[in-house]
């Protein structure tokens, strides 16, 4: 049977909505820094205002060119349109439940809260620095971790000089909090 006579299932689009990033904790909040919120909102607006209309235009043009089953522009355009729509749904859901927390409100504090940049030492004396951010805005390559990550959970509410216990895949570790930093009010957080 020709593909033209079969209906593609849209259920996979709904199932894939949450595959790009980790799910929110049950009943939890979607904390974000103001910069992370602005970045996701800019991506959403760019998809809605620029990328989706251009893709719709290409698909419309390609549909007028005849046999759709062998039309690469049409097939790719439809696939790309589904990807864009899925990302728009995902971003809309995440931004709707976002709770923006400005880390600069804690500037000068030595206690670890959301948005803190924490330097800690492990049992071997090696120093590590991480920044605790929202689930949707972390970049592991920049030393950022989600506030729901086990290391962040272990460090939250600790003060400089405190020792905290952290259960890692290698077993129980004791970490010493060496320094806690926050951006100054009005200063953009490191992104």
CATH of domain 103-181: 3.10.50.30
| pLDDT given for residue 170 in this prediction | 84
CA 117, CA 139: separation in Å to the nearest integer?
14
Cβ–Cβ < 8 Å for 17, 93: yes
CA 103, CA 190: separation in Å to the nearest integer?
11
| pLDDT given for residue 188 in this prediction | 58
Classify 28-99 by CATH class: mainly alpha
Q: Does 13 have pLDDT greater than 50?
A: no
- Which sign, positive or negative, has the C-alpha torsion 19, 20, 25, 29? negative
For 63-114, the pLDDT digits (tens) are 888 777 777 888 899 999 999 999 999 999 999 989 999 999 998 889 999 9
CA 56, CA 74: separation in Å to the nearest integer?
10
For 25-58, the pLDDT digits (tens) are 666 678 999 999 999 999 999 999 999 999 999 8
Position 2 confidence tier, pLDDT thresholds 50, 70, 90: very low
For 117-159, the pLDDT digits (tens) are 999 999 898 999 999 999 999 998 999 999 999 999 999 999 9
Instruction: Please tell me the pTM assigned to this model.
Output: 0.77
Helices 72-96 & 34-46 angle (0-180, nearest 10): 150
Q: Does 187 have pLDDT greater than 90?
A: no
CA 38, CA 44: separation in Å to the nearest integer?
10
| pLDDT given for residue 26 in this prediction | 65
| pLDDT given for residue 101 in this prediction | 93
For 158-185, the pLDDT digits (tens) are 999 999 999 888 889 999 999 999 998 8
Domain ranges of the chain: 28-99, 103-181
Cβ–Cβ < 8 Å for 189, 137: no
| pLDDT given for residue 51 in this prediction | 95
23-55 as b/e, with b when 16 or more CB fall inside 10 Å? ebeeeeebbbbebbbeebeeebeebeeebbeeb
């Amino acid at each position: 049977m020709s593909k033209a006579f079969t209906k593609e299932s849209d259920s996979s689009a709904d199932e894939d909505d949450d595959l790009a990033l980790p799910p929110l904790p049950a009943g939890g909040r979607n904390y974000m820094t103001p910069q992370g919120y602005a970045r996701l909102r800019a991506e959403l607006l760019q998809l809605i205002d620029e990328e989706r209309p251009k893709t719709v235009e290409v698909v419309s043009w390609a549909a007028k060119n005849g046999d759709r089953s062998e039309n690469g522009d049409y097939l790719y355009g439809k696939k790309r349109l589904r990807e864009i729509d899925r990302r728009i749904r995902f971003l809309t859901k995440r931004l709707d439940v976002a709770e923006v927390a400005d880390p600069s409100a804690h500037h000068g504090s030595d206690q670890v809260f959301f948005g803190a940049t924490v330097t800690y030492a492990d049992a071997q004396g090696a120093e590590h620095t991480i920044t605790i951010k929202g689930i949707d805005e972390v970049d592991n390559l920049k030393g950022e971790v989600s506030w729901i990550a086990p290391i962040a959970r272990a460090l939250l509410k600790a003060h400089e000089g405190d020792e905290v216990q952290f259960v890692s895949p290698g077993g129980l570790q004791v970490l010493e909090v060496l320094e806690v930093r926050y951006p100054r009010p009005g200063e953009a957080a490191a992104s």
